[in-house]
Chain A
């Protein structure tokens, strides 16, 4: 079975620019997560979707970050405008169900560098 796909793998932008990341979850997985992993820290949940609805976006900086999953399959995370502190790896994960007892499958991540 194909894993979680993410693109691009690497991105370098200047501060105040915008950037978008794409994620395609495992087929049949209703739940999709976006995490931010800053160097030396564990992943932090930014937003969780169940199909095309938002379950949890309490830690998403909504003044600059946005995410959508319009058709309940793939998803896009956008940052506009980017700040230096947004430099991190952005991880997408998916699971069959929305409660944490379902195993989450992670993609390879997108490494963002903001200069």
Chain B
């Protein structure tokens, strides 16, 4: 079955430190991968996507993610965390170009001042 896993319910990072939010997937073929963020009292917002090409993709607010096919991972990263990055982050995958997006359960990121 197609699925996406976010192994951490919560990640705590000190402001100014690098952050990583983990995501692994299980799909057949070449996946389309996404990260979305949900700030308190706001709707889900698109951060970035991997379709094909360079394994390192850059997105909004200084975030980037690295596609690793051998490890079936798509971890979200940022070199220096801000308190305003505190939010709920969702990894998502689509098994095919014409298939629906499957979301992970989310990881809550806390940036400590």
- A contact set with B: CB distance below 8 Å: 3-4, 40-45, 48, 56, 91, 93, 98-101, 103-109
Stretch at the interface among B12-20, B45-53, B67-75, B77-85: B45-53
- B contact set with A: CB distance below 8 Å: 32, 34, 36, 41-46, 49, 51, 90, 92, 94, 97-101, 103-106
B42: A residues at CB distance < 8 A: 108
A48-B100 contact in complex given A41-B105, A101-B32, A101-B49, C-beta closer than 8 Å: yes
Whether B44 pairs with A101 at a CB distance below 8 angstroms is no
Candidates B46, B97, B101; contact of A45 at CB < 8 Å? B101
Whether B97 pairs with A91 at a CB distance below 8 angstroms is no
CB closest chain-B residue, reference A44: B103
Whether B43 pairs with A104 at a CB distance below 8 angstroms is no
A4 CA / B45 CA spacing, docked (Å):
12
Whether A43 pairs with B103 at a CB distance below 8 angstroms is yes
A43 CA / B38 CA spacing, docked (Å):
11
A103: B residues at CB distance < 8 A: 46, 49
B101: A residues at CB distance < 8 A: 45, 100, 104
A106: B residues at CB distance < 8 A: 36, 43-45
Whether A42 pairs with B105 at a CB distance below 8 angstroms is yes
A24 CA / B44 CA spacing, docked (Å):
16
Q: A43-B90, A44-B103 are known; give 18 further A-B pairs, CB within 8 A.
A: A4-B43, A40-B106, A41-B105, A41-B106, A42-B106, A43-B44, A43-B103, A48-B100, A91-B44, A93-B44, A99-B98, A100-B94, A100-B97, A101-B49, A101-B51, A106-B36, A106-B43, A108-B42
B34: A residues at CB distance < 8 A: 100
Whether B99 pairs with A108 at a CB distance below 8 angstroms is no
A56: B residues at CB distance < 8 A: 100
Question: Which among B32, B103, B105 has the highest number of chain A CB atoms within 10 Å?
Answer: B103
Whether A42 pairs with B92 at a CB distance below 8 angstroms is yes
A42: B residues at CB distance < 8 A: 90, 92, 103-106
